[in-house]
Amino acid sequence: MKVDMNLLPEEHRPKRWALPLTIGLIVVIMAAGYYGFGYYGKNAAASSEVEALQSQLDSINAEIEQEMNDTSVAEYEAQIAEAQAEIDSLKAMERDYETRNADRVYWKPVLQIIRELTPNDVILTSFEQNDKELIVEGELSEDAENAIIIVEFAKKLEERGIFSRPPAFEIGTEEREDEDSDDTVEVFVFTILLEVKPGG
């Protein structure tokens, strides 16, 4: 058996807690140094990485700036502006065309309808067109019995629905010389005013 004996006086004897405290303090200092060095190393690495990324960003920005100042980009922008101006011009022309066609009267179908509806005893002598109005003049043939045919003709025109208002008409008589004899004959003459809807 081993006995531990200290023969030093009490004041010179080492304190029992001093050695563990010293060892603990040394361990804490070493750990703090290790972690501090690791933090500093990571911070330095991150800082150098940030600097590298910043230099890459600066070089990319410089390239972009150079491309923006390049004459080819300016040429493309000029071509784009020119194309946009041409598109705007074409759109304006299209709007004008649509507006003009909305108010336009197509006379061929109107005249075909008038020809289809004209009775056999009616002779159309003239057409006069003024904007959307059409003045039709005519007379009744010698075989016609009375002027009711003209009224019925005007009603048929109105029923077709291509006119914006009912036809206005005027019926009168006119004296003419008979071709077969020297006698004068009274002939019914008429004028019909038609206002055609836009689009005919």
Q: pTM of the entire structure?
A: 0.46
For 8-24, what is the HEC assignment? CCHHHCCCCCHHHHHHH
Cα 101 to Cα 90: distance, rounded to the nearest angstrom: 16
Cα 110 to Cα 102: distance, rounded to the nearest angstrom: 16
Domain boundaries, the chain: 107-195
Each residue's pLDDT tens digit, 123-181: 888 888 887 788 889 888 877 777 788 888 888 888 888 887 778 878 888 887 777 77
Nearest 10 degrees: Cα torsion 103, 107, 112, 113? 30
**Side chain identity, residue 51:** E
Instruction: Specify the CATH number for 107-195; select among 3.30.1360, 1.10.3470, 3.30.70, 1.10.760.
Output: 3.30.1360
Residues 6+ apart with CB under 8 A from 143: 121
